[in-house]
């Protein structure tokens, strides 16, 4: 029987109604008591490093989860992370970069309703997460939610209330769970040996969402505070000139200081194509502007945080374009 470590971090799945609204208050042992059937397929231990709404989770929490997995990697066959849905895709992407080439599964799940709600999706999601984690074909970082198994680098929360909250963006779901059994759409090769763990992230990354009429004066802040910039542009990708070259001039200045910029699109599907239009091609004259292409925003942001914690310039560019868990292709 496989040994699984559950890492409980809070979220809706662990929330109770209070005078201030839903707040994570349910312990890891309470969660486990709601899915007694998993004891038939795996031996579960649990830790609870924090119990937070996922709105409050960021890089230090991602690093803490990765640290727990690294310290316990030799003692368990897999890991289930219970997590709030709002930033689950960011955590899944971050863990995909912090824990690479893992032959053991790291499975994130949560719910749109508290585990104690009458119409909850929590019990199914939690049960599916353990059953997938115990499967011999499971490995790497995945989200298991509403019966879908999604790569950690391809997931995005696309619905705020419905049970099918997560979508796999521009890549098929790896598998579906049917009556507790995973049916694989994609057979992945299981890595050999011990995974590669990383221990730092650079949070000085800013997402600049373009809106019509935005002033280039925003670069006053960006140049002072940021090491990396992800530009969420319109359509296929580009920057406006608004009858002057302010954006191009300020972006060139930003890059000249050894900082890194990545272009992506606000469109959810099909990715960016910087060379399609003149407003995109002009970016080439600004310096080394990287392109996210088909990457999700969550993957682009967390990959840049990972890279900028130890690399700059040409090395950073090479790493950004090197695929990790099918994040870019």
Q: Give 96-148 pLDDT, tens digit per residue.
A: 999 999 999 999 999 999 999 999 999 999 999 999 999 999 999 999 999 99
The catalytic residue positions are 12
Quick one: pLDDT band at residue 242, thresholds 50, 70, 90? confident
pLDDT at 216: 94
pLDDT at 279: 87
Give the mean model confidence (pLDDT) for residues 50-63: 98
Per-domain residue ranges for the chain?
2-197, 205-320
Give the mean model confidence (pLDDT) for residues 9-24: 95
Give the mean model confidence (pLDDT) for residues 189-193: 87
CA distance 275 to 236: 9
CA 182 to chain centre: 22
**The pLDDT of residue 25 is above 80:** yes
pLDDT at 230: 98
Which among 244, 248, 238 has a CA at the least distance from the CA of 275? 238
Which among 61, 68, 141 has a CA at the least distance from the CA of 109? 141
- Specify the DSSP class assigned to residue 328: -
**Fold entry, domain 205-320:** Rossmann fold (3.40.50)
Cα angle: 137, vertex 270, 219; to 5 degrees: 110
Quick one: pLDDT band at residue 282, thresholds 50, 70, 90? confident
**The pLDDT of residue 243 is above 80:** no
CA distance 272 to 8: 36
- Within 10 angstroms of residue 187's Cβ, the number of other Cβ atoms is 9
Q: Give 134-182 pLDDT, tens digit per residue.
A: 999 999 999 999 999 999 999 999 999 999 999 999 999 999 999 999 9
pLDDT at 268: 94
- For the domain made up of 2-197, the CATH class stated in words is alpha beta
pLDDT at 288: 86
Give the mean model confidence (pLDDT) for residues 241-257: 90
Quick one: pLDDT band at residue 244, thresholds 50, 70, 90? confident
The 3-state DSSP class for residue 273 equals coil
């Amino acid at each position: 029987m496989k040994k699984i470590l559950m890492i409980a971090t809070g979220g809706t799945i662990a929330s109770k109604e209070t005078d201030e609204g839903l707040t994570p208050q349910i312990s890891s042992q309470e969660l486990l008591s709601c899915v007694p059937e998993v004891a038939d397929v795996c031996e579960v231990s649990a830790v609870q490093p924090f119990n937070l709404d996922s709105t409050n989770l960021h890089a230090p929490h991602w690093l803490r989860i990765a640290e727990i997995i690294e310290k316990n990697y030799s003692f368990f066959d897999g890991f289930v992370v219970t997590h709030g849905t709002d930033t689950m895709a960011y955590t899944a992407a971050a863990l995909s970069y912090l824990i690479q080439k893992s032959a053991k599964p790291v499975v994130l799940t949560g719910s749109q309703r508290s585990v104690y709600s009458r119409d909850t999706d929590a019990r199914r999601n939690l049960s599916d997460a353990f059953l997938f984690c115990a499967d011999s074909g499971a490995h790497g970082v995945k989200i298991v939610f509403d019966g879908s198994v999604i790569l950690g680098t391809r997931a995005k929360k696309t619905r705020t209330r419905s049970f099918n909250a997560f979508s796999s963006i521009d890549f098929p779901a790896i598998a579906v769970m049917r009556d507790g059994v995973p049916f694989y759409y994609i057979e992945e090769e299981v890595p050999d040996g011990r995974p590669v763990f990383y221990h730092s992230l650079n949070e000085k990354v800013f997402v600049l969402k373009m809106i019509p009429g935005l002033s280039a004066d925003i670069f006053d802040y960006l140049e002072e505070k940021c090491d990396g910039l992800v530009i969420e542009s319109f359509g296929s990708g580009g920057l406006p000139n608004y009858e002057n070259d302010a954006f191009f001039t300020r972006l060139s200045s930003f890059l000249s200081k050894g900082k890194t910029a990545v272009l992506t699109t606000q469109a959810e599907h099909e990715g960016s194509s910087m060379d399609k239009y003149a407003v995109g091609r002009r970016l080439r004259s600004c310096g080394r502007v990287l392109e996210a292409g088909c990457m999700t925003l969550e993957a682009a942001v967390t990959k840049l945080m990972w890279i900028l914690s130890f690399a700059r310039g040409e090395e950073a560019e090479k790493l950004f374009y090197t695929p990790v868990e099918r994040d870019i292709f």
